[in-house]
């Protein structure tokens, strides 16, 4: 077995088809600077729209996090958003902790989102969002590891992951950034 196919098989056992189809997404993010170079703190909120057969769900998410960014326009704050009418695309996978069907309830709970984005005003972002993480498990891990285990435990206990991306619009243009958010999903 080649290394490539071994990796492919390993990924296939972790990221399994969920049956959910990504429809669109919408969101907004506020970014503010810190005294540390290139680092900021962010708040993000939004919704992703999924379908499975006749079932349609809107998952509302919100989170807080940090980012590393480069910007052309100097400002201590920036704001970006996307609307559901803007082009976006994505795919939903079921993770090992999920049940056989990955129902709507399993997608709700704690979430972790990684995002990279770039813009010239209009721009694009790519996101990897882990859904349905166990806050209880994450808090227990955090208590045992002086907080450092929270994020890995929330990811490890997630039921699903959504890879999605699309068009964004930014108030002050010409930025590139990478961000991570911790929050929750309701739907």
Minimum separation from the CB atom of position 114 to other proteins (A): 18
Minimum separation from the CB atom of position 132 to other proteins (A): 14
Per-residue CA distances from 119 to 122, 167, 175 (Å): 6, 9, 5
Residue placing its CB nearer to other proteins in the complex, 15 or 79:
79
Minimum separation from the CB atom of position 10 to other proteins (A): 34
Residue placing its CB nearer to other proteins in the complex, 7 or 72:
72
Q: Which residues bind other proteins (CB under 8 A)?
A: 28, 30-38, 40-43, 45, 58, 60-64, 69-71, 74-78, 108, 175, 177, 183-184, 186-187
Residue placing its CB nearer to other proteins in the complex, 14 or 72:
72
| Of 41, 97, 92, 39, nearest in space to 68 by CA | 39
What is the rounded CA–CA span in Å between residue 90 and residue 112?
16
Q: Which residues pair with 184 in a beta bridge?
A: 62, 110
Residue placing its CB nearer to other proteins in the complex, 9 or 38:
38
Tokens 């959910």 locate to 20
Q: Quick check: 66 and 31 in contact, CB under 8 A?
A: no
């Amino acid at each position: 077995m080649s290394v490539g196919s071994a990796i492919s098989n390993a990924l296939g056992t972790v990221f399994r088809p969920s049956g959910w189809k990504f429809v669109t997404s919408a969101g907004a993010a506020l970014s503010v600077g810190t005294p540390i170079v290139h680092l900021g703190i962010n708040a993000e909120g939004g919704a992703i729209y999924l379908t499975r057969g006749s079932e349609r769900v809107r998952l509302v998410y919100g989170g807080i996090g940090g980012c590393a960014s480069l910007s052309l326009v100097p400002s201590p704050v920036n704001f970006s958003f996307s609307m559901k009418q803007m082009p976006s695309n994505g795919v939903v996978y079921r993770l090992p902790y999920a049940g056989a069907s990955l129902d709507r309830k399993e997608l709700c709970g704690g979430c972790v989102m990684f995002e990279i984005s770039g813009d010239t005003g209009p721009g694009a972002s790519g996101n990897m969002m882990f859904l349905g993480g166990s806050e209880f498990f994450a808090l227990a891990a955090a208590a045992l590891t002086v907080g450092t285990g929270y994020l890995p435990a929330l990811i490890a206990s997630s039921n699903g992951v959504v890879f999605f991306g699309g068009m964004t619009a930014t108030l002050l243009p010409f930025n590139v950034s990478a961000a991570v958010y911790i929050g929750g999903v309701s739907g």
